[in-house]
């Protein structure tokens, strides 16, 4: 069964933390039968959440779940902006396809509005 859980250490992700250059990087993993099949690395700042990297193994729905999990936690902290400072430009394409980002942008604004926009899809 797939679970998305935040890690409370950075073991195995030291290269991402080092590349980000800060100590407050959070790691959330996608687990399938306790085996990590994806992750997202991010940090909360006063007015924004910065995503430093993610790996979804090429699974667009896993990408969606990882990003939405961080969006929800950001919204709960009152953060309305998410910036994707990804080392691989190719990782922006799935985010555009999922409509987290507009073409040519690295910034998702109005996180709460984005999450609430999905409410009408249930009807």
Give tens-digit pLDDT for 33-64. Answer: 989 999 999 999 999 999 999 999 999 999 99
- Radius of gyration for the chain, computed over Cα atoms and rounded to the nearest angstrom: 14
Average pLDDT for 69-80: 95
d(CA 90, CA 26): 22
Q: Which residues pair with 38 in a beta bridge?
A: 30
Give tens-digit pLDDT for 87-107. Answer: 999 999 999 999 999 999 999
- How many angstroms from the chain centroid is the CA of residue 108? 11
Answer for the pair 106, 92: CB distance below 8 angstroms, yes or no: yes
What is the three-class DSSP state of 8? Answer: coil
Average pLDDT for 67-72: 95
Using a pLDDT cut of 70, give the percent of the chain over it: 94
Res. 115: pLDDT tops 90: no
Relative to beta strand 2-6, strand 26-32 is antiparallel
Question: Alpha helix locations (H) across 1-123?
Answer: 14-20, 60-76, 92-97, 111-117
**Which of residues 13 and 21 earns the better pLDDT score?**
13
- 122, exposed or middle or buried, with CB in 10 Å at 0-12, 13-18, 19+? exposed
Return the domain boundaries, the chain. Answer: 2-122
Answer for the pair 69, 58: CB distance below 8 angstroms, yes or no: no
**Which of residues 34 and 117 earns the better pLDDT score?**
34
Domain 2-122 fold: Aminopeptidase (3.40.630)
Average pLDDT for 63-91: 95
Res. 120: pLDDT tops 60: no
- What is the structure's pLDDT at 1? 82
């Amino acid at each position: 069964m797939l679970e998305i859980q935040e890690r409370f250490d950075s073991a195995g992700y030291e290269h991402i933390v080092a590349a980000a250059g800060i100590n407050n990087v959070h790691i959330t993993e996608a687990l399938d039968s306790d085996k990590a099949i994806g992750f997202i690395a991010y940090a909360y700042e006063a007015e924004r959440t910065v995503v430093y990297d993610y790996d979804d193994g090429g699974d667009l729905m896993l990408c969606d779940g990882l990003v939405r999990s961080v969006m929800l936690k950001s919204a709960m902290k009152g953060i309305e902006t998410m910036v994707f400072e990804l080392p691989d430009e190719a990782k922006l394409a799935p985010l555009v396809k999922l409509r987290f980002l507009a073409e040519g942008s690295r910034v998702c604004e109005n996180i709460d509005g984005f999450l609430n926009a999905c409410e009408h899809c249930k009807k």
